[in-house]
Amino acid sequence: MESPGNQTEFFYTEKGLIAIDSPVKLQILNLLKEDSSSFDAIVRHTAKAKSTISVHLNKLRALGLVAEELDPLDRRRKTYFLTSYYMGRSRKPRLENYKKVLKRMDSARIHEPIFFMDVLFHAFCFGCEAYGLDNAPIIKKIGNDIGKKLASEFRAKELEGLLGEIAAFFELHEKISLVKKDPLSLVVRDSFKEDSRISSGKTLCAFEEGLIEGLLYGKLGKKFRVKETECYGTGHGHCLFSISK
Residue 33: partners with Cβ closer than 8 Å, 6 or more residues away = 82, 86
Phi (first) and psi of residue 224, to 5 degrees: -120, 150
Is the pLDDT assigned to residue 4 strictly greater than 60? no
What per-residue confidence (pLDDT) applies to 1?
A: 41
160-213: pLDDT as tens digits = 999 999 999 999 887 999 999 889 999 999 988 888 888 778 899 999 999 999
117-176: pLDDT as tens digits = 999 999 999 999 999 999 999 999 999 999 999 999 999 999 999 999 999 999 988 799
Segments in the chain forming alpha helices (H): 23-34, 39-46, 50-62, 96-103, 113-130, 136-150, 159-172, 191-196, 206-220
| H or E stretch covering 244 | strand 239-244
Predicted confidence band at 74 (pLDDT cuts at 50, 70, 90)? confident
CB 165 within 8 A of CB 152: no
Phi (first) and psi of residue 128, to 5 degrees: -60, -45
Three-state DSSP state, 205: coil
First to last CA, the chain: 27
What per-residue confidence (pLDDT) applies to 80?
A: 96
Own/partner long-range contacts of 76-80 (Cβ < 8 Å, ≥24 apart): 77/38, 77/39, 77/40, 78/38, 78/39, 79/36, 79/37, 79/38, 79/39, 80/28, 80/32, 80/36, 80/37, 80/38, 80/39, 80/42
- From residue 119, alpha-carbon distances to 111, 122, 136, 153 in Å are 11, 5, 17, 26
| Reported pTM | 0.84
Which structural domains are found in the chain, ordered by start?
Answer: 4-87 (1.10.10.10), 135-244 (3.30.1380.20)
Average pLDDT across the chain, whole number: 91
Number of H helices, E strands in the chain: 9, 11
Q: Between the ranges 12-16, 57-61, 96-100, where is the mean pLDDT highest?
A: 57-61
Three-state DSSP state, 231: coil
| H or E stretch covering 18 | strand 16-20
77-112: pLDDT as tens digits = 889 999 999 999 999 999 999 999 999 888 878 888
Is the pLDDT assigned to residue 50 strictly greater than 90? yes
Distance in angstroms (rounded) separating the CA atoms of residues 146 and 159:
19
What per-residue confidence (pLDDT) applies to 3?
A: 47
